[in-house]
Amino acid sequence: MGRIIVANRRGHQVVEWTDTDTEEARAQVAEAERILREARDNGCLISKKVDGQHVMDVAPFDPKVEEYQIIAPIAGG
């Protein structure tokens, strides 16, 4: 099972998907892919867990990744 952790003003949201070959799993993967694409389009950075550590990621969505994190840009004033 994979997941995306989306940090936001209200804490965080977790989106999960399974790697089974079912209609529901395919829909979960499509939703996760859409969330990452929109986050990148909105200027967010993406990290993924590799060997227990998060590293910055610019590759296309991979449903085999254990965990992604979306990092929103910080607005300064």
DSSP letters of 6-36? EEETTEEEEEEE--SSSHHHHHHHHHHHHHH
Q: Note whether residue 10 is domain-resident.
A: yes
49 within a domain of the structure (yes/no) = yes
Sequential pLDDT tens for the chain (77 residues): 899 998 777 778 898 998 888 999 999 999 999 999 999 999 999 999 999 999 999 999 999 999 999 988 876 66
Cα distance between residue 29 and residue 10, in whole Å: 24
Report how many domains make up the chain.
1
Backbone angles phi, psi at 59, to 5 degrees: -75, 160
- Residue 8, domain member (yes or no): yes
Considering the domain boundaries, does residue 25 fall inside one?
yes
pTM over 0.75: yes
**77 within a domain of the structure (yes/no):** no
In a domain, 76, yes or no: no
Residue 19: per-residue pLDDT: 81
User: Does 64 map to a domain?
Assistant: yes
What is the span of the domain harbouring residue 23? 2-71
Residue 19 falls inside a structural domain = yes
